[in-house]
Structure 1
Amino acid sequence: MKASWEKIEKNLGVLEVEVDADRVSAALDKAFNKVIKNVNVPGFRKGKVPRAIFEAKFGVESLYQDALDILLPEAYTEAVDQTGIFPVDSPEVDVEQFAKGEPLKFKAKVTVKPEVKLGQYKGLEVPAQSTEVTEEELNAELERLQQRHAELVVVDDEPAKNGDIAVIDFDGYVDGVAFEGGKAERHSLELGSGSFIPGFEEQVVGMSTGDSKDIEVTFPETYHAEELAGRQAVFKVKLHEIKRKQLPALDDEFAKDVSEFDTLEEFKADLKKQLAERKKEEAEAVREGIVVDKASENAEVEIPEAMIKSEVKNMMRDFNNRLRTQGMNLEMFLGFSGQTEADLEEQMKDDAEKRVRNNLVLEQIAKEENIQVTDEEVEQELEKMAEQYRRSKDEIRSILAANGSLDSLREETMLRKTVAFLIENSKEVAAESK
C-alpha cells in the first residue's frame, strides 16, 4: 500500500492512498461471502449461489459498497500509521478508483492535531500562596459543621424565612388551565435554594403556618418545557409546616459528637491542622494552574474546532456522571435549571478550548524535555486506582483495557509529570498586596 500526506492549510491536509489490487479482490470476496447468505436465485439453495452466477445476474458492482465498507477503514488506519499523522476528526473521503482487478485509490481530507510553537516555559514566576489558617477560616469551618449537624425543629410562631424548609401544597395554572408537573402535596422546599422557578421561593418567604396564597411567576424563556417557556403562571400554595435548623452549641459535647476528641479545644486544634493541610493542597493546585496557564499563554497554537467540540462532549459526559452520583441525570438538571443541552455546551466551550490548549502545550513540552512514563510508573498508578476503588490491580487493568483507556492513563501520567517539571523550574515570588 502507498500513502502520502500533504498539508494544505493550518491543521488541514490530504492523505492520498493507493491499495493493491489483490486486497481489492480479497475485499470483494468478503463482500460476496457476506451478501450471498441472503440471496435467492431460482435453482440454487439460499447461500449456495456460485460466484459467477451471482455476478452474471447482479453484476460485480453490486459488491462494491460492501467491499469498500470493509477495505476503506483498515486502509485509512494503515495510511495514518504509515504517514505518522494524528487525525482529530472524521475524514472526508473521496474514492477516485475502485473496480475489480484494479487498485483502490482514494483521497482523505483530514484535520490533524495542530503544531505547537512553545514560548517561555521555564523560570515562570508564580505568586506565593498562603497556607496559614486564619481565625475567620477556622470559625467558618466550625459553623459549617454546626450546619451539618443541625436539627430541624418545627416553627409555629414565626413566618418563613430564607434557609427554612417550607412544607407546602402547590397547584399550578397557565391561563386558568392546570399543567403537567405543576402539582404536589406536602413538598419540602428549602427557601433560598433556587430550586424552583425564579420568584417562587421569594413569595413563600413571609408566609406563616396554615396560610394560603396565590403566587404569580413567569417561566424562563429557556425553560425545558417549550409549552411553558416564557409563560405566566399562578400557583395556589398552602403552607403546612415550617422547619428551621437549630444549631448545636459549640462546646465539649459537640466535639465528642463530631470527633474523637473529648474537648472543643482539642478538636479545634486538630481541625486547624486539617485546614492547613487542605490549604497546602489547594495552594499547590493553584500554583500548578498558574504555571500551566502561563506556559500556555506564551505558546502559539491554532486549535481545530473539532478538538473543542470533542472536549465539550467529554465534559458533558463527565458532568452527567457526576449528576448520577448525586441521584440525578442531565435531563433532570436541564429541567430544574431551565436550560437546554445546547446552552450548557456553549457555557463549557471556553473551558474546553482552554483544556485542549493546555494539554497540547504540555504534550509539546514533554517532547522537548523528553519526559516519558515508564511501565513501573503506570503500575504505580494502577495500584493507586486499585486502592481507591478497592479492587485488585488486575481488575482495574482489565477494565481500562476493555474501555481502551490504558493509553489514556499513560498520557495523563505524562501530563502530571510535565506539570511537576514546570513547577520545579518555576520561581516563587511574593504575592502582590491588595
Structure 2
Amino acid sequence: MQVTETQNEGLKRAYTMLLTAQELDDKVMDKLKEAQPEVEMKGFRKGKVPLALLKKNFGQRVLGEAMQEAVDDAMKAHFAESGDRPAGEPAVKMTNEDWKEGDDVEVEMSYEKLPDIPEPDLKSIKLERMKVVPDDGAVDEALASLAENAQNFEDRKKGSKAKDGDQVTMDFVGRVDGEAFEGGSAEDYPLVLGSDSFIPGFEEQLVGVKEGEEKDVTVNFPEDYQAEHLAGKEAVFSCTIKAVKAPKPAEIDDELAKKFGAEDLDGLKGQIRERLEVEYAGAARAVMKRALLDKLDEMVDFDLPPSMVEGEAKQIAHQLWHDDNPDVEGHDHPEVEPTEEHEKLAARRVRLGLLLADLGQKAEVQVSDQEMTQAIMEQARQYPGQERQFFEFVQQNQQMQQQLRAPIFEEKVVDYVVELADVTEKEVTKDELQKAVEALDDE
C-alpha cells in the first residue's frame, strides 16, 4: 500500500494511503485460499472447491474484511516504521465515496502524535518531607471525639422539654389524606433531634415536647422522594412521646476502649497514635507530591497534543461547573466553555501525565493483579449487596479498569521519583502540616 504524508505540523500528522484494486484483489484471494480447505459445496469434495467459484460466491463477503485488514496492516507498518505513538485513536476515512469494485481504495489517516519527552535529572530534585509526631494532646483530642461519637442517652428529669440533640423515644403513625400509609408507622422509635434522619421539618417540630405528650407533626414529602406515591404530598404524623433523653458522652476508660476493639485504655491510645501517624504521613506525602509535581513541571517543556489539552480543559470546566451547581445531577445543562485558567490547568495536567507515564514506562513500573483486585474491592464497597456485580462489570470493562489502574500507576511512579530525589525530613507541628494541606486546595 502506498502511503503519502500530507500534513506535518507540530504534533499533527496526516497521510493518504492508496490500496490498488490489484492489491485488494490479491488480499481477497489470499483469504479465500486460507478458507478453501474447510469449504464444502455441492458437487465438490471438502477443500476442492475451485478458487474462481469461491470468489464468485464469497468474494463480496470477504471484500470488506480484506479492505479493513489491509488498512490496519498499513497503519501498523507505518507506526512501526515512523515510531509515532498516536495520542488517541487515529481518524481514518475512505475518501473516494463513489468507490465500486475494481477501483483503487483511497484512505485518509490523521492523528496527533505523542511528543518526544525530555528526561529530567531526577537526582537533582530536592524535596522536603514534613513529619508530625502525635503528641498527648492530639491523642486526647481524638479520644474525646471517640467518646462523643460513642455517647449514651439518659432520661431527663420528668417534665423536661426536649432540646436539639436529645433523643426522643416515640410511637408514631403517618397519614396522607387521612389514610395511614405503608412504612409510616413505628413503635418505641428512638430519634435524635437534629440528626436529619427524618423528612425535612419533622425533627424541628419535636423540639420542646415532653414525656407523655401527644403531638401532630405536619410535613411535606420532597418532590423527588423515592416513593412516587408520596412525593410532594402533605403528611400528618401523630406522635406519642414516651421518653426524652439527654446525650451523655461516654466515659474515657477501659470500657470505652473495649467498644473500639482494644484491650484497655492504653491499648486504645496506642491504636489512636498509630492511626494519627498514618494520617499525618498521608497528609505530608500529599504536600510533598505537590512540590514534586511543581518541580517536574518547571523542569520539562514539550509540545502537547491539542486535542488532549482541549478535552482535559472541557472536563475541568464541566466538573467545576457541577461543583458550583451541586443541585444539578444530570448533564442536560448548557455547554460549559473552558476559560483560559481551565486551559492552563489542563496543559499542566496533560504535561505531567505524559511525563509520569514516560518515566513509569522507562522504569518498567507495573500495577500488579493484586493491587488491581484491591482497588476494585475498595470501589465495590460503595455498592453494598452488589459487590459481585460490580466486580464482574469491571472485569469486562477495559475503560473502567484503566480508570482504576491510572491512579495506582501514578502513585508508584511518584514513589520511584522520590526514591531518586534528595529528600530531607523536617519535623513540624500538626497545625503547620494542616496549613500546608489547606494551601493545596487554595492553589
* TM-score between the two structures when normalised by the length of structure 1: 0.56
Question: Kindly, what percent of the aligned residue pairs are identical?
Answer: 16
Could you tell me how far 1:245 is from its partner in structure 2? Answer: 6.3
Structural mapping, 1:241-280, within 5 Å: 247-262=249-264, 264-265=265-266, 267-269=268-270, 271-280=272-281
Q: What is residue 292 of structure 1 aligned with on the other side?
A: 293
Determine the structure 2 residue equivalent to 1:359: 353
Between the aligned partners of 1:168 and 1:311, the Cα distance in structure 2 is: 55
* Residue 249 of structure 1: how far off its partner (Å): 0.9
After TM superposition, the structure 1 = structure 2 runs for residues 29-428 of structure 1, keeping only pairs within 5 Å, are: 64-96=63-95, 104-113=105-114, 129-147=130-148, 149-150=150-151, 158-159=161-162, 161=164, 184-186=184-186, 200=201, 203=204, 206=207, 208=209, 210-216=214-220, 234-237=234-237, 247-262=249-264, 264-265=265-266, 267-269=268-270, 271-296=272-297, 299-300=300-301, 302=304, 304-306=306-308, 339-342=328-331, 353=346, 356-364=350-358, 366=359, 371-373=362-364, 381=368, 415-421=413-419, 423-424=421-422
| Letter paired with 1:249 | E
- SS of the aligned residue for 2:331 comes to helix
1:329 aligns with none
8 Å contact 2:32–2:54 — kept in the other structure? no
Alignment gaps of 5+ in structure 1? 35-42, 314-336, 391-398
| Displacement of 1:94 | 2.0
Is the Cα contact below 8 Å between 2:4 and 2:17 reproduced in 1? yes
Rounded to whole Å, the distance in 1 between the matches of 2:366 and 2:282 is: 23
Cα drift, residue 131 of structure 1: 0.7
Amino acid in structure 1 at the alignment position of 2:89: S
- SS of residue paired to 1:211: strand
Call closer, same or farther: CA 1:104–1:119 in 2, change over 3 Å: same
CA contact (8 A) 1:168 1:237 kept: no
Partner of 1:334 in structure 2?
none
Q: Which structure has the larger Rg?
A: 2
Query: What are structure 2's unaligned runs of at least 5 residues?
Result: 36-42, 316-325, 378-393, 437-443
Change (3 A) 1:79 1:103: farther
User: Contact 2:24–2:66 (CA<8 Å) still a contact in 1?
Assistant: no
Deviations for 1:207-232, whole angstroms, at most 9, x for unmatched residues? Answer: 7475332235876xxx799x99xx97
Which amino acid is 1:372 matched to?
A
Contact 2:90 2:109 in 1 (8 A): yes
Amino acid at match of 1:129: M
TM-score where L is the length of structure 2: 0.56
Work out whether residues 308 and 350 of structure 2, in 8 Å CA contact, stay in contact via their aligned partners in 1. Answer: no
- Distance between the aligned counterparts of 1:106 and 1:93, measured in 2? 7
Counterpart CA distance in 2 for 1:239 and 1:27 is: 82
Is the alpha carbon distance of 1:124 and 1:280 closer, same or farther for their aligned partners in structure 2, counting shifts above 3 Å? same
Shift in alpha-carbon separation, 1:268–1:15, aligned structure 2, 3 A: same
Contact 1:125 1:427 in 2 (8 A): no
Corresponding residue for residue 331 of structure 1: none
Partner deviation per Cα, 1:293-317 (whole Å, 9 max, x = no partner): 442366546464557859999xxxx
Q: Indicate how the Cα distance of structure 1 residues 297 and 246 shifts in structure 2: closer, same or farther if over 3 A, else same.
A: farther
Query: Which amino acid letter does the alignment assign opposite residue 162 of structure 2?
Result: P
Which whole-Å CA distance do the structure 1 matches of 2:299 and 2:415 have between them? 20
The secondary structure found in structure 1 opposite 2:111 is strand
Secondary structure of residue in 1 paired with 2:86: coil
2: CA distance, partners of 1:8 / 1:33 = 39
Query: Shift of the alpha carbon at 1:250?
Result: 0.4
Aligned to 1:393: none
Sort the Cα spacing of 1:119 and 1:147 in 2 relative to 1 into closer, same or farther, 3 A.
same
| 3-state DSSP of counterpart to 1:129 | strand
Q: Which residue of 2 aligns with 1:14?
A: 14
Give the Å deviation of 1:287: 1.0
Worse overlay, 73-82 or 247-256: 73-82
Query: 2-side partners of 1:195 and 1:31: how far apart?
Result: 70
Alignment CA distance shift 1:203-1:256 (3 Å): closer
Matching residue of 1:325: none
Aligned CA distance change for structure 1 residues 371 and 413 (closer, same or farther; 3 Å): farther
Query: Take 1:193 and 1:28, find their aligned partners in 2: how far apart are those partners?
Result: 75
Contact 2:293-2:352 within 8 A present in 1 as well: yes
Deviation, structure 1 residue 76:
3.5
CA distance in 1, matches of 2:314, 2:155: 45
Superposed CA RMSD in Å reads: 6.3
Flag the 1:17–1:255 CA change in 2: closer, same or farther, 3 A: same
* Contact 2:260 2:268 survives alignment (8 Å): no
Q: CA 1:200/1:129 → structure 2, altered by over 3 Å: closer, same or farther?
A: farther
Using the TM superposition, give the Cα deviation of residue 372 of structure 1 relative to its aligned residue in structure 2, in angstroms. 1.6
Q: Are the counterparts in 2 of residues 296 and 358 from structure 1 also a CA contact under 8 Å?
A: yes
The code of the aligned residue for 1:159 comes to A
Per the TM alignment, residue 163 of structure 1 is displaced from its structure 2 partner at its CA by 8.5
Residues matched between the structures, number: 373
